[in-house]
Amino acid sequence: MSAAHAEAAGLHETQFDVRVVSRTPGAEGVVLIELGPIGDRPLPGWSAGSHIDVVLPDAEIRQYSLSGPPQPGSSETWRIGVLREPSGRGGSVWLHDELREGDVLTVAGPRNHFEFEPVHGTSYVLVAGGIGITPISSMAAAAVRAGVPFEVHYAGRSRRSMALLDEVSALAGALSVYAADEGARLDLDGLFAGMKPFTTTYCCGPAKLIEAIEAAASGRQLVVERFEPKAVGAPVLQAPFEVELAATGVTVTVPPDRSILEVAEEAGALVLSSCREGTCGTCETVVLEGEVDHRDSILTPDEQAANDVMYVCVSRAACPRLVLDL
């Protein structure tokens, strides 16, 4: 299990309150919200690519990436960028229209399933689409701090809509901006064709960008973070299967129309969860025995092949019986 996975599995899971320190326009339709601690204790530190959970007034939970220079020890403040999406899953409109400086928010985290740990001898290509610049900005800052070569490719509807543009421009010696209203287009095939050896690409953005970059990468080292779940086909096993909850001492049967998470909770297991769609990583669970049908939007192909963790909100068994550390 990676360091980020270990962190997500055990640290900073408890919800707590923070205060809104400031709200500033980040771009057209984007607000930058700075959060600070309540009391003298600082906020937990975080690494490049981290996100936090924000609890909305209706108790729904949404994830937002932290932006700016990572703070690995502890943090005086956190900053998130929120794009106003009236047709989205909810939350962004309230954060834009109702949240004020001085208000209290309930949050959890940080967690990191988009881990960026720069290594000397490797070059990095950082690709952002729209509000996907928020975690990419933290990676750019981490790359500068580590002294590794990197370039940023940032695509958006217009420069007016592209948050943190000046900030990232000041960090990146090589920044390419693709504003659609200027007729600029990110040529992903050309990007990968001209890529040097020992280069790793990180990408965050809307589904179309993720799908296009995965198609263009063609076996290259690529790490992505999605805004929404990726499309998956039918389950490998379209029948009930058993799950032994090793820590609880109970074996349950999971029918085709229910998730492991739902059935485990019903059996009394304590399973932390948030998005329930395989994008946030909160419900990560250690696999002790059995083969998993991975249906999340987080694990890389290599991590899926390792078969040592799964996200029980969406992933299922690819065999008659799983044993999980629950």
Q: Where in the chain is the domain with CATH 3.10.20.30?
A: 241-324
Per-residue pLDDT tens over the stretch 34-81: 999 999 999 999 999 999 999 999 888 899 999 999 999 999 999 999
Q: Mean pLDDT throughout 13-35?
A: 95
Per-residue pLDDT tens over the stretch 273-282: 878 888 888 8
Determine the pLDDT at residue 108: 93
Give yes or no for residue 1 having a pLDDT over 90.
no
| Percent of residues, the chain, with pLDDT higher than 90 | 80
Which CATH code, of 2.40.30.10, 3.40.50.620, 3.40.190.10, 2.60.40.1940, is assigned to 3-111?
2.40.30.10
The length of the chain in residues reads 326
Q: Mean pLDDT throughout 231-246?
A: 93
Q: Mean pLDDT throughout 300-319?
A: 94
Q: Where in the chain is the domain with CATH 2.40.30.10?
A: 3-111
Q: Where in the chain is the domain with CATH 3.40.50.80?
A: 123-226
Quickly state the pLDDT bin for 235 (edges 50, 70, 90): very high
Out of 158-162, 235-239, 267-271, the most confident range is 158-162
pTM of the model: 0.84
- Lowest-confidence region among 87-96, 139-148, 187-196: 87-96
Give yes or no for residue 6 having a pLDDT over 70.
no
Q: Mean pLDDT throughout 164-179?
A: 93
The residue among 89 and 101 whose pLDDT is bigger is: 101
Out of 13-17, 59-63, 88-92, 144-148, the most confident range is 144-148
Q: Mean pLDDT throughout 85-111?
A: 90
| 20 strand-pairing partners | 35
Q: Mean pLDDT throughout 165-192?
A: 94
Under CATH, which architecture does the 241-324 domain have? Roll (3.10)
| Percent of residues, the chain, with pLDDT higher than 70 | 95
Quickly state the pLDDT bin for 3 (edges 50, 70, 90): very low
Give yes or no for residue 144 having a pLDDT over 70.
yes
Quickly state the pLDDT bin for 13 (edges 50, 70, 90): low
Give yes or no for residue 306 having a pLDDT over 50.
yes
92-99: Cβ within 8 A, 24+ apart: 92/62, 94/56, 94/57, 95/31, 95/33, 95/54, 96/31, 99/20, 99/23, 99/33
Determine the pLDDT at residue 90: 66
Interior angle at CA 86, CA 83 and CA 87, nearest 5: 110
Tell me the pLDDT of the chain averaged across its residues: 92
CATH class of the 123-226 domain in this structure? alpha beta
Q: Mean pLDDT throughout 165-188?
A: 94
